Chains A and B, each alone.
Chain A
Amino acid sequence: MADRAWYEIVRDVLKQHDVSLVPYVPDNVLRPLIDLLHEDPFFNAFSVPREEEGLGIAAGAWMAGTRAILLMQTSGFATLANQLASLSVPFQIPTMMIVSERGTLGEFNIGQMLVARTMRPVLDCLAIENHTITRLDEVEFIFDRSIRQAVATLGPVCFILSPLLTGGKVFTA
Chain B
Amino acid sequence: MASFTNQPVTRDQAKVMNRYDISKRMLTHLHHDEAVIGGIGYSNFDLWAASANPNGRRQQNFYMLGSMGLAVPIALGVALAQPHRRTIALEGDGSILMQLGALGTVAARAPKNLIVIILDNGAYQITGGQKTLTDQGVDLVAVARASGLEQSAWAADESAFEEMIDRALKQDGPWLIGCRIDNNKPVDTTERDPSRIRDQFMRGLGVKK
| Partner-B contacts on A (CB < 8 A) | 21, 44, 46, 48-50, 52-66, 68, 82-83, 85-87, 90-93
Interface contacts beyond A52-B69, A86-B66: sample of 19 additional A-B pairs, CB < 8 Å, sorted by A: A48-B101, A49-B104, A50-B101, A52-B70, A56-B102, A59-B73, A59-B77, A60-B73, A60-B78, A62-B77, A63-B74, A63-B207, A64-B78, A64-B85, A66-B77, A83-B67, A90-B66, A90-B195, A91-B197
Q: Is the C-beta of B198 less than 8 angstroms from some C-beta in chain A?
A: yes
Q: Is the C-beta of B35 less than 8 angstroms from some C-beta in chain A?
A: yes
Contact (Cβ within 8 A) B81 A21: yes
| Partner-A contacts on B (CB < 8 A) | 35, 37, 62, 64-70, 72-82, 85, 99, 101-102, 104-105, 108-109, 194-195, 197-198, 201-202, 205-207
Shortest distance between the CB of B97 and any CB in chain A (Å):
13
Contact (Cβ within 8 A) A82 B66: yes
Given A65-B205, A86-B65, the answer on whether A53 and B101 have CB atoms closer than 8 Å is yes
Contact (Cβ within 8 A) B77 A65: no
Contact (Cβ within 8 A) A59 B66: no
Contact (Cβ within 8 A) A87 B67: yes
Shortest distance between the CB of A76 and any CB in chain B (Å):
14
Contact (Cβ within 8 A) B81 A56: no
Which one of A59, A63, A65, A85 has the highest number of Cβ atoms from chain B below 10 Å of its Cβ? Answer: A63
Contact (Cβ within 8 A) A85 B66: yes
Contact (Cβ within 8 A) B70 A53: yes
Contact (Cβ within 8 A) B81 A60: yes
Which one of A21, A49, A85, A91 has the highest number of Cβ atoms from chain B below 10 Å of its Cβ? Answer: A91
Contact (Cβ within 8 A) A49 B101: yes
Contact (Cβ within 8 A) A57 B77: yes
Given A48-B101, A53-B102, A87-B64, the answer on whether A59 and B81 have CB atoms closer than 8 Å is no
Nearest opposing residue in chain A for B35, CB measure: A64
Which one of A53, A55, A86 has the highest number of Cβ atoms from chain B below 10 Å of its Cβ? Answer: A53
The residue from B65, B76, B81 contacting A90, defined by CB atoms under 8 A apart? B65
Contact (Cβ within 8 A) A63 B202: yes
Contact (Cβ within 8 A) A21 B80: yes
Shortest distance between the CB of B56 and any CB in chain A (Å):
19
Shortest distance between the CB of B126 and any CB in chain A (Å):
15
Contact (Cβ within 8 A) A46 B109: yes
Shortest distance between the CB of B188 and any CB in chain A (Å):
21
- Which residues from chain A contact B65 at a C-beta distance below 8 Å? 86, 90-91
Contact (Cβ within 8 A) A58 B66: no
Contact (Cβ within 8 A) A64 B195: no
